[in-house]
């Protein structure tokens, strides 16, 4: 895991999945997050590990509302990282 989160390279850009770091900062377990938001444990694991191909806006909206955060606190795109 990099400082910015789990890095997933796509072309010259990188997505950083930062849910794990956010949960640690807020002292919330993945189990509690799943139970309180109605989000499947496997889905949360994919967002934590960056093992996801399509972002689900409904899931992201639930997570942002529950965690009182912005989308970029969970996943962030940094363009032209790999030139």
Report the predicted TM-score, pTM, of the whole model to 2 decimal places: 0.87
Residue 15 CA to chain centroid, in angstroms? 10
Superfamily of domain covering 6-78: lambda repressor-like DNA-binding domains (1.10.260.40)
pLDDT band of residue 82 (cuts 50, 70, 90) is confident
The structure tokens 């590990």 sit at 49
12-69 residue pLDDT tens: 999 999 999 999 999 999 999 999 999 999 999 999 999 998 999 999 999 999 999 9
Does the pLDDT value for residue 2 go beyond 70?
no
Would you say 16 and 72 are in contact if contact means Cβ atoms under 8 Å apart? no
In this structure, are residues 48 and 19 in contact, taking their beta carbons and an 8 Å threshold? yes
* Residue 13 tokens, joined: 């850009």
């Amino acid at each position: 895991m990099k400082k910015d989160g789990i890095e997933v390279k796509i072309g010259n850009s990188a997505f950083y999945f930062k849910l794990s770091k956010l949960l640690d900062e807020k002292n919330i377990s993945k189990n509690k997050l799943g139970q309180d938001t109605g989000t499947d444990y496997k889905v949360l694991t994919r967002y934590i590990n960056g093992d996801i191909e399509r972002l689900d806006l409904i899931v992201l909206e639930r997570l942002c509302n529950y965690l009182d955060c912005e989308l970029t606190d969970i996943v962030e795109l940094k363009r032209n990282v790999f030139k």
